[in-house]
Amino acid sequence: MNNGHTYGLSHWYAVQTKPREEDRADYNLRAWGVETFAPRIKERRLRSLSNQPGYAIKPLFPRYIFARFNADEQLHKICYTRGVYSVVFCGERPARVDDDTVMMIQSRIGKDGFVTLTEELQPGAPVTIKDGAFRGLNGIFVRELSDSDRVSILLTNLTYQAHITIDRHLVQRTTVS
């Protein structure tokens, strides 16, 4: 009896890693010939010493990566790979991750190799500035500035209109109601 399980096929699974060992687990699984996906993000932060803006590279899902393998043949090997804590289970079977879910995350990877969490803004889109000196002001997205994380916004809630350049992470799309 099959019980809804397809034997002999590889599927995506969520693999829980040991703390801060996502890269180690990813490297070791790939060394076994296992296809992996360890999505990462760049998070904007101020550097502690200089107070200058910089980036921290972080896993999208801390302590988790995705691995595509045949659970019937490779589960034991996966679970005992260095850096791996366990495979995520649902009941008595490893919990499959749908191919579409992995493909959706992969589709959000930018040219820089990192997952983009911010929404794409189109010229003319209404935006609100969510932090900084202009917090709470509304505007219209004009354009992204080339080779930077800054955007041009036309402020619209002043008695006059003004163009400003601001860090992209300070801007969010607003819904018009």
Q: pLDDT tens-digit profile of 47-91? A: 767 767 677 889 999 999 999 999 999 999 999 999 999 999 999
Tell me what pLDDT residue 123 has: 82
Q: pLDDT tens-digit profile of 86-127? A: 999 999 999 999 999 999 999 989 888 988 876 677 788 888
- Sequence ranges of the domains in the chain: 11-107, 126-173
Give the mean model confidence (pLDDT) for residues 134-143. Answer: 83
State how far the Cα of 139 lies from the Cα of 154, in Å rounded to an integer.
5
- φ, ψ dihedrals at 130, nearest 5°: -95, -5
Tell me what pLDDT residue 97 has: 95
Give the mean model confidence (pLDDT) for residues 148-158. Answer: 75
Judged against a pLDDT cut of 50, whether residue 4 lies above it is answered with no
Beta-sheet strand order (sheet of 162-167): 162-167, 150-155, 138-144, 126-129, 171-173
Which two three-digit tokens encode residue 10?
């590889």
Determine the topology of domain 126-173 in CATH.
Answer: SH3 type barrels. (2.30.30)
33's enclosing H/E stretch is none
Tell me what pLDDT residue 129 has: 84
Tell me what pLDDT residue 1 has: 35
Determine if the pTM surpasses 0.85: no
Q: Is the dihedral of CA 21, 23, 26, 31 positive or negative?
A: negative
Reported confidence tier of residue 168, pLDDT bands at 50, 70, 90: confident
Show the 3-state SS of 119-143: CCCCCCCEEEECCCCCCCCEEEEEE
Tell me what pLDDT residue 128 has: 85
Pairing state between β 138-144 and 171-173: unpaired
Q: Which CATH architecture has domain 11-107?
A: 2-Layer Sandwich (3.30)
Tell me what pLDDT residue 2 has: 39
Q: Buried b vs exposed e over 53-78: b needs ≥16 C-beta within 10 Å?
A: eeeeeebbbeebbbbbbebeebbeeb
